[in-house]
Amino acid sequence: MSVLIYAETEGGKVKKVAFEVASYGKAVADQMGCEVTAVAFNASDADVLGSYGINKVMNISHEGNFDAKIYASGIQQAAEQLGASVVVVSSSADSRYLSPLVAVGLNAGYATNVVSAPSSLAPFTVKRSVFTNKAFTHAEITSENKIIGVSNNAFGSVENKVACTVEEFTVSLASSSVNVASVDKATDKVTIADAEVVVSGGRGLKGPENWHMIEDLAEVLGAATACSKPVSDMGWRPHSEHVGQTGKPVASNLYIAIGVSGAIQHLAGINSSKVKVVINSDPEAPFFKAADYGIVGDAFEVVPQLIEKLKAFKAQA
Amino acid sequence: MKILVCISHVPDTTSKINFVESDTKFDTNGVQYIINPNDEFGLTRAMWFKEKEGAEVDVINVGGAETESTLRKALAIGADTAIRVNTEALEASQVAQEIVAVIKTREYDLVIAGRESIDYNGGMVPGMIAAMIDASYVNNCVSLEISGDKATAVREIDGGKETLTTSLPLVIGGQKGLVEESDLKIPNMRGIMMARKKQLNVIEPSGATTKATTVNYEKPAPKGEVKLVDAANVDELINLLHNEANVI
Ligand SMILES: Cc1cc2nc3c(=O)[nH]c(=O)nc-3n(C[C@H](O)[C@H](O)[C@H](O)COP(=O)(O)OP(=O)(O)OC[C@H]3O[C@@H](n4cnc5c(N)ncnc54)[C@H](O)[C@@H]3O)c2cc1C
Ligand SMILES: Nc1ncnc2c1ncn2[C@@H]1O[C@H](COP(=O)(O)O)[C@@H](O)[C@H]1O
């Protein structure tokens, strides 16, 4: 009986999202009365996971790009060697890509978008969000092996320092049928998936020439920038920034929407963000019904002030 | 080339989400059903392969008779044949197993599913199918070109895109970008008439096992009223975000 978590890395470093996954794994392990082990690829700083309750890291060295099939085979073998019946993964695009493969390999039931620790172990029941965050379901995983995909920022990182050993895990990985020809990725920007704060602009900003406001605000807050669908459709912003039901999901701690009306398809993608702020000149805009805080006003007046005041606030903090 | 498009039959995005029978069943009352948006992009891409390269396109749904209107719509858009596996879709692994049972009898070069359904939001069916038939697999697929038995696909990753080359048989989890939204096909009169004559084959399930069950549903607690801050007083917003919400 054991719990395994998959700790994602980037450029040889454990990603922040892994701390939440580790914290979740630790909570399940405590419920089960067992230890929690992590599997990672090319992690040079794997022992940081000890701060989140991980006792042991099985580190796999692999040259080359991320590949769902190869990584899935490594995770599966780690679970098998450990005899882990519960595997915990994140909701990142890569984790969602490889986890169905691990699930088939381990003959495991897999629940995605899980928002809290199991409410019971026998039967094994978790709460997950469904209907694009308009409801939750309590799902029972009935198979012996189980995979839990934790919804971003739903459980949070819980510090819990333990002694952590890192071992090299040597396995023969699957061969891939997919080759990466090229990667086009902005490395200097916070991504929507990793961001704790997201600043998003809609059609109310009138044109791409006004986006410096969004970027400046994002910069003060260390936030990622996002936009509504029409904004990316019109080519004001790249498609990778489009959030909502047909775009990227956002589960940040803070989501600031500026000049976004709050159409149901937009809200569907951002509803699991914890705190939502809207700045809109129309008091009837539907976003005010979904938001926690709001300012009725002209973005062109409010946002520059907000940027100045936040700079002052950050400077004194 | 033979293509299978997996079609999930889902409530329209604007539907009210309610539950009945002590919150154990989704309330279908007054709900309009549509082709899952991610599947609609995939289906339209399949139509392109049909028109340009003479591909044969089947569509499949695992579900009860109530999903046939959605399959008919896919036929009206231009799919050649529809298949309905006559069993309630309970969870992703069962759905994937049922689709795989059909794939094994018909051998497809390309299987197109959506990156996720907007009701269950599992995002697992395409990956599970790929693993079960040991095919190549690309998720979050936003562009797909095929030439002979080689494919070039673009996958959306966190913060950017990745271009991949692979070979058939291939399974993709598709989404917006596979085709432009303006190219999505709306069934026309001729399509609807032709769809009536096309085959909608109902086949019995293979008896797949389930690995998860839904115990019950819960609606989020009603949200409190928005706190409005005066536009002339942005300091107050900063104060609330710092001291009350603890997010900055
Ligand atoms: C199947 C389907 C899927 C969709 N998926 C998505 C999706 O994933 N994501 C998405 O975003 N949309 C999606 N949409 C589109 C969605 O329905 C809306 O059309 C869209 O979200 C509106 O974008 P917007 O808020 O930027 O623009 P608008 O609706 O035009 O709103 C602009 C807002 O800006 C405000 N404004 C104007 N001037 C100012 C000013 N000076 N200062 C402050 N505020 C100002 C206005 O009051 C208004 O509320 C989808 C639609 C469909 C049918
Ligand atoms: N009952 C079903 N019948 C056919 N295809 C399905 C069904 N459920 C899901 N799919 C396919 O799998 C994709 C992902 O669904 P899900 O794993 O439920 O998020 C959908 O976009 C469909 O292409």
Sheet containing A224-227: which strands, arranged edge to edge? A224-227, A197-201, A254-258, A275-280, A293-296, B227-229
Mean pLDDT, 10 residues at a time, chain A of 317 residues? 95 95 98 97 97 98 94 98 98 96 98 97 96 92 98 93 97 94 85 92 98 97 97 93 91 96 94 95 97 98 98 91
- For residues A260 and A279, the answer to whether their CB atoms sit within 8 Å is no
What is the rounded CA–CA span in Å between residue A71 and residue A98? 7
Residues A164 and A207 in one domain: no
Residues A164 and A201 in one domain: no
Task: Mention every residue, 6+ apart, whose C-beta is less than 8 A from residue A266.
Answer: A202, A228, A229, A243, A244, A245, A260
Give me the residue label for tokens 């061969």. A175
Distance B116 CA to ligand 2 centre (A): 7
Whether the CB of B37 sits within 6 Å of ligand 2: no
Task: Please report the pLDDT score of residue B134 as a whole number.
Answer: 97
What is the rounded CA–CA span in Å between residue A180 and residue B138? 11
Task: Mention every residue, 6+ apart, whose C-beta is less than 8 A from residue B31.
Answer: B11, B12, B15, B16
Q: What is the ipTM of this complex?
A: 0.93
Task: Please report the pLDDT score of residue A49 as a whole number.
Answer: 98
* CATH number of the domain encompassing residue A38: 3.40.50.620
A188 contacts in chain B (CB < 8 Å) = none
What is the rounded CA–CA span in Å between residue A121 and residue A141? 10
Hey, of B120, B121, B140, B223, which one would you mutate to test binding to chain A, going by the most A CBs within 10 A of its CB? B121
Q: Which residues of chain B carry a pLDDT beneath 50?
A: none
* CATH number of the domain encompassing residue B9: 3.40.50.620
Is the backbone of residue B98 left (phi > 0), alpha (psi -120 to 50) or beta? alpha
Q: Nearest by CB to A181, which of B120, B164, B224?
A: B164
Number of independent structural domains in chain A: 2
- Strands A146-150 and A109-114 turn out to be parallel
A187 domain residue, yes or no: no
Residues A23 and A164 in one domain: yes
Structure tokens at B52: 């340009």
Please answer yes or no on whether B215 and A140 come within 8 Å at the CB atom: yes
B182 domain residue, yes or no: yes
Structure tokens at B125: 């069916």
Whether the CB of B95 sits within 6 Å of ligand 2: yes
Backbone angles phi, psi at B244, to 5 degrees: -95, -50
Task: Please report the pLDDT score of residue B153 as a whole number.
Answer: 98
Q: Identify which of B169, B216, B37, B178 has the alpha carbon closest to the alpha carbon of residue A246.
A: B37
Number of independent structural domains in chain B: 1
Task: Please report the pLDDT score of residue B231 as a whole number.
Answer: 96
For residue B108, the SS3 value is coil
Among residues A168, A183, A208, the one where a domain terminates is: A168
B231 domain residue, yes or no: no
B15 domain residue, yes or no: yes
> Touching check for B86 and chain A: CB below 8 Å?
no
Task: Please report the pLDDT score of residue A27 as a whole number.
Answer: 98
Domain that holds residue A216: 197-316
Task: Please report the pLDDT score of residue B186 as a whole number.
Answer: 85
B54 domain residue, yes or no: yes
